[in-house]
Amino acid sequence: MLLVAANIATALTLYPVLRRRFPVLGLGYVSARLVESAFIAFGIVAVLALNTLRMNAGDADPAALTAVGQALVALHDWTFKLGPGVVVGVGNGIILGYIMWKTRLVPRFLSILGLIGGPALLASSTAVMLGYIEIGSTLQGLGVAPEFLWELLLGIWLLVRGFNPSSVAALDARQS
C-alpha cells in the first residue's frame, strides 16, 4: 500500500509543473499513475483474499478451494503484468520521458532513459503476456532495466538536484 501511496503522491507532486507546458499529457501521466496504482491495489487485494481463503477454508470442497485460489493467483499475476508492466511503460516511460525531453527539466540522458525504457518495458511485457518470453527471464530483465534506471535516477536526481532552474523559468515565462 506504501507503493500505491507513493505512486499517487509522485503524480500529484509533478502535475503542477508538467501542466504548465503540457496540460493534457500532464493529466495523462497522472491518470496512468492512478491506473497503475489501481492495478497494484487489486493485486494486493487478491493476495489478501487468497490468504483469507486459506485461513478460513474450514470444511469447504478442496477442488473448489483450489479453483478459487488459482483464480486469485491469476488475478494477482495479471494485475502485475498490466499495471507495472504496460501502464508504467506508457505513463512513466513514454509520457513522462517525452515531457522531460521537451521541457529540459532534467538532463537529456535521463529523458532518453525514459524514452527508451517505456517502449522496452511495453515490448517485454507484451511478449510476456503473449507467451513469447517467460516472466522473470533474462529477456524480460533487459526490457525492464532501462525503465528501472529511469525511475531510480529520476527520483534521485530530483531529490538531490531538482528541476533545471532555467527550464522552470522558461515554463513560468511561457505560462504568463
Counting the structural domains of the chain, the total is: 1
pLDDT in tens, the chain (176 residues): 899 999 999 999 999 999 999 999 999 999 999 999 999 999 999 999 999 998 888 788 889 889 999 999 999 999 999 998 899 999 999 999 999 999 999 999 999 999 999 999 999 999 999 999 998 899 999 999 999 999 999 999 999 999 999 988 888 888 77
- Tell me the HSE value of 48 on the side-chain side, using a 13 A CA sphere: 7
22 backbone φψ class: left, alpha, beta (φ>0; ψ -120 to 50): beta
Q: What share of the chain is helix, strand, coil (3-state, %, to 5)?
A: 85, 0, 15
**pTM score, two decimals?**
0.88
Element (H, E) at 54: helix 23-55
The boundaries of the domain holding residue 63 are: 2-175
